[in-house]
Structure 1
Amino acid sequence: MTVDDEPEVIVEGDHDRLARSIADQLVSTLAALQAQGRVPSVVLTGGTIADTVHRAVAERADDGRVDWSRVDFYWGDERFVAPDSDDRNERQVRRALLDHIDVDEARVHPIAADDGTLTLEDATARYADVVRDQVFDIVMLGVGPDGHVASLFPGKATLAVDDRDTVAEPASPKPPPARVSLTYRALNRGREVWFLVSGAGKSDAVARALARDDVTTTPATGVHGTEQTVWMLDQGAASALPADLR
């Protein structure tokens, strides 16, 4: 897929139906990739809908379709806080999913936490080494009401970074302020990009992104898969779209 191709839009009735649909699609896609002899790579995201998706995937983990020890897990962004902070996306994902499946910890690639020895810049540089030249099979992203993705926020200089794969965001408009994020350069190496969006409060941002608003005001516009881009929405998130898209 190129930036000029139209993304696919999938609309489910409500938050829980959306989460179940995404979980089924994730398991099916990973199983298909493994059937080809591949070790799939997935970029995970945080947020409410993602947490529900992760729990739904965990419920399907015992069906034997996916060898979870042969999946590489990455994160699109992370809050630079203490390792045991509930604000960490990694901690959320571990509680909902990773603690319930048979992962190979060598294939789990979290972004470094603020353990008192690292700076935000250190954590950013370390993750750049981890993801360098990595092509991701699936990039899952939430979208904020302001149109941000990962920790790429409207109006920020980080949106223009195109010479490296990770960037430090010291002053996020959402707390906690210190973040590490993948850049467009890294996110756009995803073969499939899935936007997971629930709730009417995000409907305007979804509509702007699908109308290809400028990335400086709606950063989600700037991410697309090399093979496929899918917007997975519930009715609330789709409510501002033209009728033919919902």
Structure 2
Amino acid sequence: MVMKIKEVADIVGISVRTLHHYDEIGLLKPKTNNTGYRLYSEDDLELLQQIMFFKELGFPLKKIKEIINNPSFDRKEALEVHRNMLVEKRSRLDKMIEMINKTIQHVNGEVNMTNKEKFEGFDFSYNPYEKEARERWGDKAVDNSNVKIDSLSDNQQKLLSNKMNEIYRNLANLLEYAPESDKTQKAIKEWYDFLNNETGHHYSLEAFKGLGQIYVADERFTENIDKFGEGLAVYMCNAMEVFADRNKQ
């Protein structure tokens, strides 16, 4: 049994644009019929499930592609690893839930919590977004951005956030247009200019293109961006790639 792309998107709960992106980057390439429609087989669905497991555990798409295309890749073994990692993740969540329940009892006066107990389960050892940014663009870029933002007043930071959200909403209103359209490219330039003028760091065209790829590769970014419109993260990624490639010339 084969399925069309819309059927697959509805079953999985992801956008058609995301599946298009997976095809474009060679992560999941279904067969096409004579009219060019993508047709997904049972094997494609099994592979997609595997991809979604990796995404749930925070693997970037580039790494997922490397793993599943490796001749030594063993699906059963990978599923067992996924299970073990999810069990560990569940254990951490269980500890957090236990702490919350105890905190509620403490608020109700049923138990007493020490200051140490109030913070068990939290891990503030690193910021995952900052860690990834440092790895991709170096400490200087992140430090400059932090200094820039920290130097702003609360009102200035709020204005900055509002401006950023306005750009997201504007791009979300353009989802019906192709990423390479003039309207979309004008809007994505506003995003490029915003990052370079407001974050305290100059993004090269290559770094800007790489940032767009993170929007799709990292589900944390995808989830936040797609709040403005389903498929916006992939749309921005494609538009940022077009912008970077065009302006290199």
Establish whether TM, by shorter chain, passes 0.5: no
Q: TM-score, normalised by structure 1?
A: 0.25
Higher relative CO (CA 8 A, sep ≥ 6), structure 1 or 2? 1
- Which structure has the greater CA radius of gyration? 2
More helix by share: 2
Q: TM-score, normalised by structure 2?
A: 0.25
